[in-house]
Chain A
Amino acid sequence: MIKINNIDKQFGQNKVLNGFKLELQKNEIIALVGISGCGKTTLLRIVAGFEQPDKGYVEIDQKKASTPDFMIKPHERNISMIFQDLALWPHMNVEKHLIFACKNRQLTKTNLQTTLSEILESVKLSGYNKRYPHELSGGEKQRLSIARALSSRSNYLLMDEPFSSIDNILKDDLHKLIIKIKKDYHMGIIYVTHNIDDALHIADRIAIIQNGTIVQIDKGDALLNNPKNDFVHRMIQGSKR
């Protein structure tokens, strides 16, 4: 479980997170929904270990990972992340991306090849081993970023609006893939988005964020039927459901 407890984070005069609390179980997808600049990405960066909280702590599998005085290194947190711009390494081909992410697992050569084939198969990228990011289409790049996240066999996956710039059909396919991954790998996933429909489609629970804190966290239907305040009501107003 990831436990985010009472996190504060300030950049200069701008308080981005304000007493933020959240608990994520394994085999669960929580969507964080909010307007731009509400602190969603900062929260993911704190959980991943790229930023340090000013107050509060992050606990991963009952182990303190981030406090104002102490930080576990990102690669020791058992977390993967899919970035908004995907952050694919331009000088590495598909296979090298996965090998780089796999190496912490100390697999034998045969096991490594089997694992790579399985992962590429699961994201439908078999046969693309030698291709570089610039030789992939938009959808294939998205799949590669998912494959890389899967390679390290982490317990948790952080997704920072990764599907914000793709068409609806492709997005639908990738959502299905993420749900499948959650089931197959028993992963806990935090999915950041500003699109309530994406959240309703993919998430087990949805957290609406305003001014650096969660104003309501609920299952999709409960959120649609009982918005807690006017802000939540406005956030879900445009939903197609």
Chain B
Amino acid sequence: MKPPLLFQFIVCGFLAILILFPILYIVSTPFMNNGCQNIFELRHLSLAKNTILLASGTSLLCLLIGVPMAFMINNMRIFIKTIHMLFIIVTVLIPPYIHAIVWNQLAGYFPDYFSINSLLGAIWVLSISYFPFVTLMSLAGIQSIDRNLEEAALLSRGKCYTMCFITFPLIFPHVFSGAIFVFIFSIIDFGVPDILRLNVYSIEIFIQFSAFYNEQSAFILSFPLIIVTILLIVVQQRYMKNKAYIQNFVGFSKTIIKPSKSVIKQSLVFGFSFSIIFLSSILPIGVLCNGAGSFNNYITAFSTSVNPMMYSFFLAFSGALCVMIFGFSLSYIIERSGKVIKNIVLYLSMIPFAIPSITMGICLIGIWNRPIIDIVYSSAFIIILGYIARFIPFSVIIFTSGLKQINHHIEEAALLIHPRWSTVMSRIMIPLLKPAIIVCFFIIFILSFGELGTTLLLMPPGTETLPVKIFNLMHYGAYELVNALCLIQIFIIFIFSFLFLSIYKAATKKVKK
């Protein structure tokens, strides 16, 4: 059953305005007014080297940490497993730039042994922030393995062979996808390199725009990142064809890799997993608590940041709502339309992954900062447009996964009774997709709440979000307030996570019933 033409027309229209138009703007601007001349300099080679090394190093380290963690968590007893999962989620909820702030302070205690303002330092900080993506994806892969596939191999070969030739190839698409996501997030990250003073493309793009107001140069510098990222997305999409990104992590997987009974091995496993959890979630919060100083600093930080907090909440809520509705509409077209439209809409909605946040900000300023449509540029609407353009791929991934699990026949059976498509949508599809709707809203809300790169450029005068306030205070050297605000931000994110988790549990219960 194909979606109604009017619906397709409206959604594709929005797609053209919100995604296609910015892409075309980024691609075409450098070629206007002889903008391509004298743009490439020799020092860009060093930028490219740093950027590629940062992204590859981070992906590699995330694999080294994330994959063993996934196997360890999978084999843990349910209570310890739940605690580990909780800390992994805590790590995800702490934005990378807060990790950078923490490690920047930590490095100050050991200046002779540890230089965080280096490529290796940035790789370490990004890895400790992003390894949960590899862990969660690998865990999804491990849990999706059919036990029979491994057992069939065990009848002919030993455990090691079975792991090498059956288990690992089967989870490879998930592990590979996790690594690609980490690569993409690292290559376009702005906050961490900026705090750790590492010269990479995203920083140079920001400098070109904010210091020299050279929009064309900024866009041209984005091209290598965009091309590499698009190629990786295409490979990733092919690998993950029809595979779920997330599984239900309740219970035990049936993989053959079982926990060792040896006390020494068990201690090593526990030591490794605890160290990672300590470094990625307990230590950052501890350092922030220590750095925030007295309780008065929290009160000062809170009382001076009520407006940024409310504004962040408003933007994150509105952004999440818009991204969710638009993402659902796009996913419905992707899942229920013919191959050509499906592929065009799918790849177009994935491209924003490839655009660095700073570039997206510059692009939106270029498009909307015009006399007639100035109302958009001078209001919060421009930031919401930025969130839509940046986070739409997440929404599409979540909803296409959800829609894949709903059999076409369910919809068709309803259409036989209710000929109105909108009735079938509201009474059958949306209730069935309730868990995906909540997950999508939650993820986009959290991402928007902590967003820095795009917001930094698009912020209308006289307004401020919490991350932007933290960023500004940090550059003024107000470290106690920065620490207190980081903790307040993490606390707010935790509260919302808890709230969403409760709603999600209630919603999934109803859907299962």
Contact = CB atoms under 8 A, between A and B. Distances in A.
Interface of A: 48-50, 73-75, 77, 79-81, 83-85, 87-91, 100-104, 148, 151-152, 154
Interface stretch (B150-158, B216-224, B388-396, B436-444): B150-158
A89 B148 contact: no
Given A50-B151, A79-B155, A85 B170 contact: no
Interface residues of B, number: 17
Contact of B146 (A87, A102, A103): A87
B259 interface: no
A74 B148 contact: no
A148 B152 contact: yes
B141 to A, nearest CB: 13
Given A91-B169, A100-B165, A83 B157 contact: no
Contacts of B161: 103
Contacts of A83: 148, 151-152
Contacts of B165: 100
A151 B157 CA distance: 12
Chain B binding surface, main DSSP class: helix
A75 B165 CA distance: 15
Nearest to A96: B165
A112 B262 CA distance: 39
Interface in B80-101: none
A74 B147 CA distance: 14
B473 interface: no
Interface string B130-157: 0000000000000000101101111111
Given A85-B146, A87-B146, A100 B151 contact: no
B166 interface: yes
Contact of B156 (A49, A88, A91, A101): A101
Contacts of B148: 83-85, 87
Given A87-B146, A89-B149, A100 B157 contact: yes
Contacts of A80: 155-156
A89 B166 contact: yes
Nearest to B165: A100
B146 A48 contact: no
Contact of A100 (B146, B153, B170): B153
18 contacts: A48-B151, A48-B155, A50-B151, A50-B154, A73-B159, A75-B158, A80-B155, A80-B156, A81-B152, A87-B148, A87-B151, A87-B152, A90-B170, A100-B165, A102-B156, A103-B161, A104-B156, A154-B155
Interface in B384-408: none
Contacts of B154: 49-50, 73-75
Contacts of B170: 89-91
Nearest to A73: B158
A49 to B, nearest CB: 8
Given A75-B157, A100-B157, A104-B157, A81 B166 contact: no
Contacts of B156: 75, 80, 100-104, 151-152
Given A87-B146, A91-B169, A81 B155 contact: yes
B149 A87 contact: yes
Interface in B158-176: 158-159, 161, 165-166, 169-170
Contacts of A90: 170
A77 to B, nearest CB: 8
A48 B154 CA distance: 9
Given A91-B169, A91-B170, A75 B146 contact: no
A154 B146 CA distance: 24
B255 to A, nearest CB: 13
Nearest to A101: B156
A86 to B, nearest CB: 8
Contacts of B153: 89, 100
Nearest to A90: B170
A7 to B, nearest CB: 19
A49, A50, A79 — which one has the most chain B CB atoms within 10 A of its CB?
A50
Nearest to B173: A91
A75 B155 contact: yes
A104 B161 CA distance: 11
